[in-house]
Homo-oligomer: A and B are copies of this chain.
Amino acid sequence: MPAAPAPRRRRRPTAKQQAVVKALRGSDHFRSAQQLHHELAELPAIRIGLTTVYRILHTLADQRIAETQLGEDGEVLYRLGSAAGHSHYLLCRRCGEAVAFTTAVLEHHTAELARQHGYADISHRIDLYGTCPLCAQR
């Protein structure tokens, strides 16, 4: 068989990729691509298109460098982090602050429920939203 094409050496991250990661490092709250794009637009140093922000975030998520969460309205939120198996969060619908929690009991119940009814390929969505104390006081 012909030799597979030699894998390209990992390229050093571009300035824009670094900028997105840097923006993410700025907070452990979950933020949308659009929010991040706005933040980056503030910085006069960098000029980056919304499309690129989306693409970089998508790549970071693929690499598990960033984790994602669904916002209350269905938008995708990102933050750096926990490559560990996805956990669930109570997150502030306003600022994206996240409080993790476990659902061991529920997961067990649902696995059993699925088994009993013969459902396969189970996936779940368990998200809590609220207003954190800080955002509550405006």
Instruction: Please report the total number of A residues contacting B with Cβ < 8 Å.
Output: 32
Contact B101 A119 (CB under 8 A): no
Contact A90 B117 (CB under 8 A): yes
Contact B130 A122 (CB under 8 A): yes
Contact A119 B92 (CB under 8 A): yes
Q: Which of B92, B101, B122, B128 contacts A128 (CB 8 A)?
A: B122
Contact with B along A54-96 (1 / 0, CB 8 A): 0000000000000000101010000000000000001010000
Contact A90 B72 (CB under 8 A): no
Beyond A90-B110, A122-B129, 19 extra complex contacts between A and B, CB < 8 Å: A72-B123, A72-B125, A74-B74, A101-B109, A103-B106, A106-B106, A118-B133, A118-B136, A119-B130, A119-B131, A119-B132, A121-B130, A123-B128, A123-B129, A124-B126, A124-B127, A125-B125, A125-B129, A126-B127
